Amino acid sequence: MSELPPIEEAIRAIATCLHTAKRVLFITGAGISADSGLPTYRGIGGLYEDKETDEGFAIEDALSGEMLRRRPEITWKYVAQIERNCRNAGPNPAHFAIARLERELPFALVLTQNIDGLHRAAGSENVLEIHGDLHKLRCVACDWREQVGSFAHLDLPPVCPDCGGRVRPEVVFFGEMLPEAALERFLAELDTGFDLVFSIGTTSVFPYIAQPVVEAIRAGVATVEINPGRTHLSPHVRYRIPLGAAAALTKILEWRERLTGV
């Protein structure tokens, strides 16, 4: 076989790893949904790359639990902006590629930071939405809950139709605790171990997102970063693919088919 360009050689090596892997972890961030038309919020081309909100806050402060309690209209303004960007978006080839691998590999787990629901829409079932689901709403004062298709009909900030209390989406805002059940399950899966770990479209700024990759690197487990921009993990992963998620995962599947006939 003729010599391949470095990226193509790395993609072939990743496809080979997939052929032998028994337990694969896919960690995904906003970048995987970029090809669905959803903007990232930090990083290359992000809505808030080196910018503040209209009110002069960092987006992390606008979307914080503290801001939701203190000035809910600001948090809901930017939650609604995210929801408008998600509305009418569908899964892209990266989501479908992961869903396919989940079906075909012995075991695959998706840990996503995203709240857009696109992994499940693509057919993935073994998904931990560690930051929640944007379209699940609940009252902070009573047991009222509802899943909505969009926020178009909501008065912002919304109030509970049962008790008049404050309503929030079931997502983890900055400064809030992760959902205990999801975190416990993820830690149990980490204890079992993985033999291939992907970091896709995430800047890996949260320790619980970066740590599985760091631990895999220390243990000599194959690690893959797919991201057009560099992160603090980039110099350390075994394979770095500086492409968008859809392009990279499509190429990986193509090589997997060539190597295995699957």
**Residue intervals in the chain for CATH 3.40.50.1220:** 1-38+90-131+177-262
Q: What is the pLDDT of residue 44?
A: 40
Establish whether 19 is a catalytic residue.
no
Region(s) of the chain under CATH 3.30.1600.10:
40-88+134-171
Pick the catalytic residue from 19, 131, 153, 236: 131
Q: Provide the Cα torsion 45, 48, 50, 52; round to 10°.
A: 160
pLDDT at 1: 44
pLDDT at residue 118, rounded to an integer? 92
The segments of the chain whose pLDDT lies below 50 read 1-2, 43-46
Q: Which fold has domain 1-38+90-131+177-262?
A: Rossmann fold (3.40.50)
- The strand pairing partners of 241, in sequence order, are 226
What fold, for 40-88+134-171? SIR2/SIRT2 'Small Domain' (3.30.1600)
Amino acid identity for residue 30 in this structure: A
Is the pTM higher than 0.75? The answer reads yes
